[in-house]
Structure 1
Amino acid sequence: MSKFITSRRGFIKSGAAGAAILAAPAYLRSTAARASGVVNVWTYANFIPDDFKAEFEKETGIEVRVRLVDDQGKQFNLLAAEAPEPSADIVTVAGHRFLQFIDSDLLAPLDTDRLNNWGNINPVYSESDWATINGNKWGAPILSGAEVLAYNTEIVSEDEVKSWDVMFDPKYEGQTAYIIQDMMSVVMLYLGYDGNMVAYKDDPEKAAQIVKEARDFLIEHKPMVRKFYDSGAEVQQMFINQDIVLAHAWSGPISKLIMDGFPVDMTIPKEGSYGFVYTLNVTNNGPNPDNAYALLDALLARPEVGAQMTKASGFISTFKGVDQHLTELEQKAASFTEEELQGLQFFRSEANDLKYSLVDPAVEEIKAA
């Protein structure tokens, strides 16, 4: 059974170039972004494979300019700051964050008729309920992931990671790590609540009480934590250096460590966790929409490209036929058991405004405690 599943390495040079463009005055930025034969992509490291990028540029003459992003909120703020004339043609949005970008008119509806290879996406992703909003598609699903419990297999036993309890076991004090905002959803689930907060959409007082309970729980167990980290590359390095033996993490970076032979594994504990899908999205009023569609269609053309994306990022490709291009180890590194998948649910966006209005201040309070 395929697992859902970042390392943030790579494209540093391209990312720096993108940053320079964004720092320029608007009229200069617009001129640079709208150069013919260019497509500007904001995405995570390793989501656009180097070999594919080079081949696409050679065959089409279109230069792919990649700016590295590592956070959905930061990407939203950058795009909103540039509206209504963004420098980006394509951005990378997680499906459960669609509404925030759509409601702010930052994305254009995706015209799937312009994508000859749309049918190469597994319909589990392309035709799922979260993928259609207001009657439109808003992105091409490319990679899927999950929030997992990762552990050093030489120190932590398989039995210990059957529950999120292990993250709060004094035995491992100072040897755990997580991204606080992500961990808040899992802790709410661990405490028996809806971490999506959809169940409390019409009861803000209940929602506030739940977030306060999760906040207080994490403050109480703050001594357990070696570090609140920010990126996939950071948690990978902490495992490699043996600074930590346990982490709440995105599955992609951990899957990549498994592929590289490190004594690390991951699981979805009995209390459950959350899955997500990354999509590539055409920006509203982007400078080079034709080039954006050309890049998307080329990316979807072959399962080999999806396999390259999985190998580089650790996340599972949404393309049909990818397994045929992965080794047994690569497939194993990106798969969960049926039992684990029973506890996996997708992030949902219906209550995001309420949720993050409560969670974001709670995160800062945890940091300050």
Structure 2
Amino acid sequence: MSKLIFNRRRFLGTTVATGAALTSPAYLRRASAQTGGEVNIWTYNDFVPTAFREQFEADTGIKVNIRLVDDQGKQFNLLAAEQPNPTVDIMTVAGHRFLQFIESDLLAPLDTGRLKNWDKINPTFSESDWSTINGNKWGAPILSGMEVLSYNTEIVSEEEAQTWDTLFSEQYKGQTAYIIQDMMSIIMLKMGYDGNMVEYLDDPDKAAQIVEEAKAFLIEKKPLVRKYYDGGAEFQQMMVNQDIVLGHSWNGPAAALINDGFPLAMSIPREGSYGFVYTFNIANNAPNSDNAYLFLDALLSSPEIGAEMTKASGFISTYKDVSQHLSELERKSTSFPDEQLANMQFFRAEANELKYSLVDPAVEAIKAA
């Protein structure tokens, strides 16, 4: 097999959609004489398609100012330093980081009634438990990443990949790999427990018992695994070398292999898995909140826009019907059937201190066993 060179942006392409595909909805063009000004956005590279941004500016007269960010912690510190008069209107926050921003009064509750296109988001993302805190929505879900079961389609069947049990089967002994800390959450979920451990905040003894069960399971199954790995590049190389034929991974490294032509596929097994969602949030005391809502509503207006965000970023779109606007290969690497998406839960942060005080020592014990 020829050597694969991993470059996510090459795999997913940087093709710019036609103006027609990303044209803003007609109501924006009718409103252009009544708007103007600007909207300031802090976000990651490729999260706002260039063609959409240009069309939005032309249709509304609103100038879109984008400041690229690369770290949630840095963004939090910058926003905290600017309050109560932030320079930003919209920022990109991962769902499992909401609490930190909310408790510091950095975000404004999202008024979904002002977003006519809210229903364009798949409810798996917009209506899940992580998205409502203190009775409010706090962000518009735009892109998602998740932990999946990745498998070599020439060796492992699609049916086998519908359960995590296959990862721990004697049939594939010595041909599997996973990130052990991440697998702890999945194993707890597989056992019927809350892998986020939010349910056990008031019962630390129960939390300890659950982690002990997951630890015992992974120690028992340790003879079957080829390697506990740490990074996506290592997972990719093991797959390419056929050191492994299936494994737990994040969807991004798997998507890169798929788009380079490697015979790989992904599933969200029926026992469930965990993911995170990037959201666009409105800052508390945003200087241009009306323009921010107009921008968000336009961004949510069509699956074509969601498809372009997926192609450019490599993350999975939260929009309905996006797969219709992706090539067969792009669909294979960046979308999942609705019935599999229904198996996914989202990381939550409320119990992280409790969770990792138990999980981190358990991981070291598994490695040492």
| TM-score normalised by L of structure 2 | 0.69
1:95, CA displacement in angstroms?
Answer: 3.5
Residue by residue over 1:85-123, the C-alpha shift from the partner in whole angstroms, topping out at 9 and shown as x without a partner, is 277654433435433432233322123455454454345
Note the C-alpha offset of 1:184.
Answer: 1.9
Distance apart, 1:130 and its partner CA: 4.2
CA distance in 1, matches of 2:56, 2:365: 45
- Residue 76 of structure 2 aligns to which amino acid in structure 1? L
Distance 1:116 1:190, change over 3 A: closer
CA distance in 2, matches of 1:94, 1:113: 22
Structure 1 segment 193-232 matched on structure 2, within 5 A: 193-215=193-215, 218=218, 221=222, 224-225=226-227, 227-229=229-231
Partner of 1:103: 103
AA partner of residue 345 (structure 2): F
Corresponding residue of 1:352: 351
> Aligned partners of 2:41 and 2:173: how far apart in 1?
44
Q: Match for 1:142: what amino acid? A: I
- Which amino acid in the other structure matches residue 346 of structure 1? Q
Q: CA offset at residue 205 of structure 1?
A: 1.0
Report how far residue 331 of structure 1 moved: 3.9
CA shift, 1:81, in A, is 6.7
Distance 1:213 1:87 in 2: 48
- C-alpha distance in 2 between matches for 1:189 and 1:264: 25
Count of residue correspondences: 327
In the TM superposition, residue 201 of structure 1 has moved relative to its aligned partner by 3.2
Amino acid at match of 1:250: W
Task: Say which SS state the counterpart of residue 301 (structure 2) adopts.
Answer: coil
- Structure 1 residues 322, 336: CA separation in 2 closer, same or farther (over 3 Å shift)? closer
**How far has the Cα of 1:265 moved from its partner?**
0.8
Q: 1:119 to 1:160 in 2, by over 3 A?
A: closer
| Distance in 2 of aligned mates of 1:271 and 1:215 | 18
The match for 1:152 is 152
Q: What TM-score do you get using the length of structure 1 for normalisation?
A: 0.69
Q: 1:89 to 1:355 in 2, by over 3 A?
A: farther
1:307 aligns with 2:307: yes
Aligned counterparts of 2:230 and 2:274: Cα–Cα separation in 1: 19
- Other-structure match for 1:27: none
The answer as to 2:188 corresponding to 1:188 is yes
Do the aligned partners of 2:181 and 2:363 also contact (CA within 8 Å) in 1?
no
- Following superposition of structure 1 onto structure 2, how do residues 136-151 of structure 1 map, counting pairs within 5 Å? 136-151=136-151
Distance 2:104 2:50 in 1: 32
Asked if 2 retains the 8 angstrom alpha-carbon contact of 1:8 and 1:46, the reply is no
Q: CA deviation at 1:203?
A: 1.3
1:355 is displaced (CA, Å) by 4.4
105-114 vs 216-225, which moves further:
216-225
In structure 2, relative to structure 1, the CA distance for the partners of 1:234 and 1:112 (3 Å cut) is farther
Query: How far apart, CA to CA, are the structure 2 residues paired with 1:236 and 1:91?
Result: 32
Q: Which residue of 2 aligns with 1:83?
A: 80
State the identity as a percent.
56
Structure 1 residues 300-309 or 355-364, which shifts more? Answer: 355-364
Tell me the SS of whatever aligns to 2:102. Answer: helix
Distance in 1 between residues matched to 2:359 and 2:73, nearest whole Å? 15
User: How far did 1:139 drift?
Assistant: 0.3
| DSSP 3-state at the match of 1:141 | strand
Judged with a 3 Å threshold, the aligned counterparts in structure 2 of structure 1 residues 341 and 215 are, in CA distance, closer, same or farther, namely same
Moved more, 349-358 or 190-199: 349-358
Query: Relative to 1, partners in 2 of residues 1:279 and 1:199: Cα closer, same or farther, differing over 3 Å?
Result: same
1:102 match: secondary structure: helix
- Report if aligned partners of 1:177, 1:246 keep a CA contact under 8 Å in 2: no
Between the aligned partners of 2:91 and 2:70, the Cα distance in structure 1 is 10
Equivalent residues of 1:168, 1:224 under 8 A apart: no
Give 1:243-322 correspondences, 5 Å limit: 244-255=244-255, 257-285=257-285, 292-293=292-293, 295-322=295-322
What RMSD, in angstroms, separates the aligned Cα atoms of the two structures? 4.1
- Structure 1 residues 239 and 54: CA distance shift in structure 2, 3 A: farther
Q: How far did 1:274 drift?
A: 3.1
| Distance across 2 between alignment mates of 1:42 and 1:208 | 38
Aligned equivalents of 1:273, 1:255: Cα separation in 2: 17
Which runs of no fewer than 5 residues in structure 2 stay unpaired? 1-6, 11-36
Structure of larger gyration radius: 2
Q: Paired residue for 2:13? A: none
Measured in 2, the distance between the counterparts of 1:99 and 1:317 equals: 23
- In structure 2, the CA distance between the partners of 1:167 and 1:210, relative to structure 1 (3 Å rule), is same
CA distance in 2 between counterparts of 1:219 and 1:61 reads 56
Measured in 2, the distance between the counterparts of 1:121 and 1:159 equals 29
Match of 1:68 in 2: 70
State the partner residue of 2:336: 335
Give the SS at the match of 1:106: coil
CA gap of 1:310–1:243, structure 2 versus 1, over 3 A, is farther
